[in-house]
Amino acid sequence: MNETIYLKRLEQREIKPTAIRLLILKTMMQHKEAFSLLDLENELDTVDKSTIYRTITLFLAHHLIHGIDDGTGALKYAVCSNDCNCEVDDLHTHFYCENCHRTFCMKSIHVPVVTLPPGFTVQSINYVLKGLCPECSSTKKTP
């Protein structure tokens, strides 16, 4: 991808572009599925771990990425689409494969609307489906 794409993504979210932020965003955008902090640290082994963590925190605050709690104990992340503001209308389903341990964003499947009793206010929603991804489903043989 052209470097200007990464530059524009940062500028759209009012994030000052630096060489490290561009590198981290480029690495994030190369992922087809959600990734963890450890994944990034392993891929960007020349970048200080605290710099990666601070950059993730900044990207989360500016809605450039969103966090996913898939139940594995390690928060995963995925790059938001250009029109996402991480509001309830932008929320989508995630799928965790119990065989290969990858987490996928299902952007076309929105989180179901739940009506709560009076007095309850939703702060966040986490909707994760678990099972086998297509790749693992095709390799699993049923008896």
**pLDDT tens per residue across span 76-125:** 998 887 766 665 555 778 899 999 988 888 878 877 888 899 999 887 77
Annotated binding residue 100:
yes
Could you report the per-residue pLDDT of 24-59, keeping only the tens digit for each? 999 999 988 889 999 999 999 999 999 999 999 999
Residue 37 lies in a domain: yes
Output the 3-class SS for 26-83: HHHHCCCCCEEHHHHHHHCCCCCHHHHHHHHHHHHHCCCEEEECCCCCCCEEEECCCC
Residue 74 lies in a domain: yes
Q: Which residues of 14-37 are buried (b: 16+ CB within 10 A; e: fewer)?
A: ebeeeeebebbbebbeebebbbbe
What CATH number should be reported for the domain holding residue 97? Answer: 1.10.10.10
CA 103, 109, 114: angle at the middle one, nearest 5? 105
Domain count along the chain: 1
The model's confidence at residue 68, banded by pLDDT at 50, 70 and 90, is: confident
Residue 53 lies in a domain: yes
Tell me the two tokens of residue 125.
């929603």
Annotated binding residue 133:
yes
Contact status, residue 92 vs residue 109, Cβ threshold 8 Å: yes
CA 112/CA 79 separation, integer angstroms: 22
Annotated binding residue 105:
no
Residue 97 lies in a domain: yes
Residue 122 lies in a domain: yes
Annotated binding residue 80:
no
Residue 140 lies in a domain: no
Distance of CA 138 to the CA centre of its chain: 25
Residue 138 lies in a domain: no
Residue 139 lies in a domain: no
> Is residue 7 within a helix (H) or strand (E), and if so which, with residue range?
helix 3-12
CA 76/CA 38 separation, integer angstroms: 9
Domain of residue 103, residue span? 3-133
